[in-house]
Amino acid sequence: MNPPREDRSAPPSVPGRARLIKWLTGPRAIFYGSLVVAFVMASLCATVLYQSRHDAMERARENSRNVALIAERDIERNFELYALSLQAVVEGLGKPEVMALPPHLRSQLLFDRAATADYLGSMLVLDAAGNVVMDSASDTPRKANFADRDYFTVQRDNPNAGLFVSAPFHSRLRNGAPSIALSRRLSNADGSFAGIVMIAINLEYFHRLFAGLSLGPHGAISVIAQNGVMIMRQPYDSAVVGRNISKASTFRKFRSAAEGSFLDTSSIDGVRRLYFFRNFPQLPLIIMVAEAQPDIYAAWRRRALTIGSLMGAFALGFVALSFMLGTQLRRRMRAESELELLARTDSLTGLHNRRTLGEILDLEWRRARRARGVFSLLFVDIDRFKAYNDKYGHQAGDDALAAVARCIGENIRRPADTAARYGGEEFIVVLPDTLREGAYAIAEKIRLAISELAIEHSESEYGRVTASIGSASWTPEQDIDVTQVIKAADQALYDAKARGRNRVATCAA
């Protein structure tokens, strides 16, 4: 019986570290490495593009804030002028010496500050019934009643209304021109309602102001009263001006803080925008600037498409190139492996050649000496092979050698057992960790298998191709060299031939 032997499924001549290095420099490593590099490049590109997208949003937010501040300051400056004009009229009406002046002088004195203001319609003084009693446009007041306007009713009903900004309306004195009004209350000495002073502002003022502010093709800018009434919106829509949007989600956010920004979808046109809003500190107004999300990301999207396409093409090209390189490397490694196999293998029989046999013998012999294990060797020789060649030709001889080699290979099954062509019609089988009896049994199986091939050999005494086998074994108690084991197996082979061929002979080294 052969003693158990360590697993030799992994060749001992290729240690784990060498296999790892070989894998790391192999075609698969190149391909997977290229995938990792492409993934890293794509990740870096995606990170940069994501940061660029974030920066685009931040720039849009800052731009909206700047636009809102510009519009706010312009509106505050002009409304302050209008408010001063109203206050001057209120104060003048309370002075008896002013009221005693002739109408044209009184009109010049009271309405002088408003005369040079842009986009003003008219400044009127209304009595407690809403009738025009003084008119900046004429010494003789135009006949009209505005008791139904909100700028009148709010002042009438609320003594503390202060400066009131009306909802948009169509002027009855200026052919329906869209306007808003600023009004202040006039009170009698006892505090009762005496009428109002109002000034009409043409909405064209907001048109001109907003037209000079760039917000992209889908941007919007609005001035909204704090009660939710839309005073002006750019792009202009007459159906939107004057609408109450106090129920909209955007307006609720406008009233939640002094200023801020957020993303939301407009209740007016359904466009998603970045809103920046600011409540006027001195006026009951809200300025809102909104850039459309598609406009904010338009330049970024073009840049991302260009960079992403180039990076994608580069990554795919890199992976494809790595794949081609890996394929070429695989072919080269396969060719080198085949060359190495050819260099270590006998081309006719497919068994190890004599050079490889020397390496195997050296390795297994040193291992056997270290482990103090039994080492056996078989020397196989085809009987009367020269006569076979002469009779049947060299091609038939080659076929017979190949058939015998297959028989030898099929009858040594352990991974550590090795067969090699020693030269001509001679073969050597190396059997590490195999006792003499086990070696003999294997030799007998090989001999019998060769005989059962039944290859015709008329020059042989057996009428078929046969083989003689010499077996030699080394035991730990002996102190000899591997060449002596080979000589012993060779001597046993000669003994087998001398005893009639087609048999196995054993000789201890």
Domain membership flag for residue 453: yes
Question: Do 281 and 393 share a structural domain?
Answer: no
Q: 200 in helix, strand or coil?
A: strand
Domain membership flag for residue 18: no
Domain membership flag for residue 480: yes
How far does Cα 340 stand from its chain's mean position? Answer: 44
Structural domain count of the chain: 2
The count of residues in the chain is 509
For residue 112, the model assigns a pLDDT of: 67
Residues of the chain with pLDDT under 50: 1-14
User: CA 45 to CA 435: how far, in whole Å?
Assistant: 67
**For the segment 219-247, what is each residue's pLDDT rounded down to a tens digit?**
899 999 998 999 998 888 888 888 998 88
**For the segment 161-175, what is each residue's pLDDT rounded down to a tens digit?**
889 999 999 988 888
How far does Cα 202 stand from its chain's mean position? Answer: 54
Domain membership flag for residue 362: yes
Specify the CATH number for the domain of residue 365: 3.30.70.270
Domain membership flag for residue 45: no
User: CA 149 to CA 166: how far, in whole Å?
Assistant: 8
Of 296, 312, 333, the one marking the end of a domain is: 296
**For the segment 356-378, what is each residue's pLDDT rounded down to a tens digit?**
888 888 888 888 888 888 889 99
Element counts in the chain: helices (H) and strands (E): 14, 16
Question: Do 468 and 365 share a structural domain?
Answer: yes
User: CA 329 to CA 26: how far, in whole Å?
Assistant: 7
**For the segment 405-439, what is each residue's pLDDT rounded down to a tens digit?**
999 999 987 888 999 999 889 999 999 988 999 99
Domain membership flag for residue 35: no
Question: Do 160 and 283 share a structural domain?
Answer: yes
User: Tokens 């039994």 correspond to what residue?
Assistant: 374
Q: 232 in helix, strand or coil?
A: strand
User: CA 418 to CA 434: how far, in whole Å?
Assistant: 12
CA 389, 393, 397, 403: dihedral to nearest 10 degrees? -140
Specify whether the CB–CB gap between 419 and 476 falls below 8 A.
Answer: no
Full residue range of the structural domain in which residue 402 is found: 354-508
For residue 5, the model assigns a pLDDT of: 42
337 torsion bin: left (phi>0), alpha (psi -120 to 50), beta (else): alpha
Domain membership flag for residue 458: yes
For residue 110, the model assigns a pLDDT of: 81
How far does Cα 177 stand from its chain's mean position? Answer: 56
Q: Which uninterrupted H or E stretch holds 116?
A: none
Note the pTM of the prediction, 2 decimals. 0.58
Cα–Cα distances in angstroms (integers) from residue 243 to residues 71, 140, 183, 229, 267, in the given order: 21, 35, 21, 6, 12
Question: Do 368 and 236 share a structural domain?
Answer: no
Question: Do 502 and 381 share a structural domain?
Answer: yes
For residue 4, the model assigns a pLDDT of: 38
Question: Do 279 and 413 share a structural domain?
Answer: no
DSSP 8-state symbol, 345: B
Q: Treating both helix axes as pointing N-terminal to C-terminal, what angle do 354-371 and 298-344 enclose, rounded to 10 degrees?
A: 90
Q: Which residues pair with 225 in a beta bridge?
A: 285
Specify the CATH number for the domain of residue 209: 3.30.450.20
Domain membership flag for residue 70: yes
To the nearest whole percent, how much of the chain has pLDDT over 70?
Answer: 92
Question: Do 95 and 235 share a structural domain?
Answer: yes
User: CA 487 to CA 509: how far, in whole Å?
Assistant: 8
Question: Do 241 and 362 share a structural domain?
Answer: no
For residue 26, the model assigns a pLDDT of: 62
Question: Do 230 and 99 share a structural domain?
Answer: yes
For residue 1, the model assigns a pLDDT of: 34
Question: Do 127 and 248 share a structural domain?
Answer: yes
User: CA 321 to CA 208: how far, in whole Å?
Assistant: 60
For residue 128, the model assigns a pLDDT of: 94
Q: Is 453 exposed, middle or buried (0-12, 13-18, 19+ CB in 10 A)?
A: middle
Question: Do 263 and 151 share a structural domain?
Answer: yes
For residue 65, the model assigns a pLDDT of: 92
Specify whether the CB–CB gap between 379 and 426 falls below 8 A.
Answer: yes
Q: Which uninterrupted H or E stretch holds 395?
A: helix 394-410
Work out the number of other CB atoms within 10 angstroms of the CB of residue 10: 11
Of 248, 274, 296, the one marking the end of a domain is: 296
Alpha helices, DSSP H only, in 223-297?
249-254, 293-296
Question: Do 253 and 173 share a structural domain?
Answer: yes
